[in-house]
Amino acid sequence: MQEEDYILFDAYINGELSDDEILKFQDKMDSDLEFSSNFNLYLDTTIFLQNTIRNEDETNAFKNNLNTVSENYFNKEKTTTKIVTPKRKPFNIIKYLAAACIALLVGFFVFNQFSDPTYSDFNSHEPMTIVRSENNVKELIEATKAFNNKNYDKANSLLKKILDTDPNNSELQLYYAITNIELDNFKIADTQLNKIVVGKSVYKNRALWYSALSKLKQKDIDATIVYLKQIPEEADDFKEAQDLLDKLE
Amino acid sequence: MSEKKIHEDQKYIDGLLNNNSFIIEAIYQKFVPKVVNYIKQNSGDAEQAKDIIQETIVTIYNQAKEKDLKLTCPFDAYFFLLCKRKWLNELKKKKNKEVTINEELLFKDDGAQELAYETLLFGEKQDLFNEMFNKLGKACKDLIKATFKINSMEEVAKSLNISYAYARKKKSLCIGQLTKLVQESPKFNQLNY
């Protein structure tokens, strides 16, 4: 009896029953409390399995990222020491000079807003934080350091090496692509980015943004616009993409 | 029934869903210190706080992914309540240890209690399902994994070298067996089924 019920539940969930059978099923759901509570649990279990198994890769990527942030946070907490605030110094001419410099800088940036946007307006990359490839941990740490110190030449050759052993890691592909944009290896950069754009990883939208920046650096404004327009509203870079789009169009 | 308004802090939930490092870091900067303090004041240390916080964030992520979680209260209150409950449950498990609990009302009730309760229940259900899934035999586990990964039962049958009809039947029975294990667990009655 129980076994037949399970087979029936599954057929109902998969939409394989005839109209007659569906009516019968729903009647039984209304009249037989045990049947309906067993079905609800079967349905919940199916949903649980579906989500857990189907989203396994994404969930693992999330857990890895979370773990990195958590480690960074708690390690920093451990090493934080009290910073002694300097005593107030008397007001002096240096402060006037500093204020004048700031005013000049602000003026410069305001002026810059009206000039044509260039790649260098946008290449303040988020620091690389990943170390989650199973192999090459040493190289990954080196690559992360090099990337964050803007030593793109070094980061590029290290990332290339790591990618050879972990070719489907889209996070690594993205950072590798960024170093290639920085080094003007546009062909490699664009190929890497395209791999991410057509894939299903969480870096898809960021890859679109960098594809646009790559084209911007190549002064191919039409292609830049095409990429920018594909960036969806929920993307982290949406606002910047819109700003850039406004300036280009 | 009135629709509850979604709180602007929904951005934290959406950020978690998108695996957005900025948002995760913001959660740590803004909301985690309070939790760490609470756990430290209540018989715990930083290491334990770290685990509780991580588990809580994963539960929120799963609920958002599976149940389209909509935040109707500030994230601060919701997150704190969740971590606090989780920590108190942890303490209960180690009953033999003497514990001190500083109960104080840190938030006025702005719907956070209710939402936190739902999330906790969701997390406990997930834990129970996971635990029982691991108790299934290897053949069932393999079949279920293949079914939900591959999507076409014909291909599943081929990959496991069994007939299509058998694969279909066996899949229903394996899921049935899992529901039975869940039902028979003593934890099941606490889960509002």
Q: What is the pLDDT of residues A158-197, one digit of tens each?
A: 888 888 888 888 888 899 999 999 999 998 998 889 888 8
Residue showing tokens 């889209």: A170
Give the whole-angstrom CA distance, residue A90 versus residue A1.
Answer: 90
Q: Does B193 touch chain A (CB under 8 A)?
A: yes
The residue-averaged pLDDT of B60-66 equals 92
**Residue-level pLDDT at A245:** 87
Write down the ipTM of this complex: 0.86
What is the Cα gyration radius of chain A?
A: 27
Q: Please compute the mean of the pLDDT values over residues B114-120 and round it to a whole number.
A: 89
**pTM, whole model, 2 decimals?**
0.57
pLDDT at B189 over 60: yes
For chain A, list residues with pLDDT below 50.
81-90, 113
Mean pLDDT, residues B174-179 taken together: 96
Q: Do B179 and A47 touch (CB under 8 A)?
A: no
- The set of long-range contacts for A140-145, using a CB threshold of 8 Å and a minimum separation of 24, is A143/A175
| Angstroms from B32 CA to nearest CA on chain A | 9
pLDDT digits (tens, 9 = 90+) for B142-175: 999 999 888 788 899 998 899 999 999 999 999 9
Which residues in B lie closer than 8 A to residue A47 (C-beta atoms)?
66
Which residue in B22, B25, B175 is closest to A46 by CB distance? B175
Which sequence spans correspond to the domains of chain B? 10-125, 134-191
pLDDT higher than threshold 70 for residue B134: yes
Mean pLDDT rounded to a whole number for chain B:
87
pLDDT confidence of residue B178:
96
Does A19 or B67 have the greater pLDDT score?
Answer: A19
Q: How many CA atoms lie within 13 A of A125 on its CB side?
A: 23
Tell me what pLDDT residue B30 has. 94
Task: List the single residue in A10, A62, A236 with the smallest CB-CB distance to B172.
Answer: A10
- Interface with B, mutate which of A46, A75, A200 (most B CBs under 10 A): A46
Q: What is the mean pLDDT of residues B91-119?
A: 66
Nearest-neighbour CA in chain B from A136: distance (Å): 23
Q: What is the 3-state secondary structure (H, E, C) of chain A?
A: CHHHHHHHHHHHHCCCCCHHHHHHHHHHHHHCHHHHHHHHHHHHHHHHHHHHHHCHHHHHHHHHHHHHHHHHHHHHHHHCCCCCCCCCCCCCHHHHHHHHHHHHHHHHHHHHHCCCCCHHHCCCCCCCCCCCCCCCHHHHHHHHHHHHCCCHHHHHHHHHHHHHHCCCCHHHHHHHHHHHHHCCCHHHHHHHHHHHHHCCCCCHHHHHHHHHHHHHHCCCHHHHHHHHHHCCCCCCCHHHHHHHHHHHC
B104: pLDDT strictly greater than 50: no
Helix (H, G, I), strand (E, B) or coil at B85: helix
Chain A residues within an 8 Å CB radius of B14: 234
Predicted local distance difference test score (pLDDT) of residue B109: 57
Q: Which of A48-57, B26-35, B89-98 bottoms out in mean pLDDT, i.e. has the lowest?
A: B89-98
Nearest Cα of chain B lies from the Cα of A132 at a distance, in angstroms, of 14
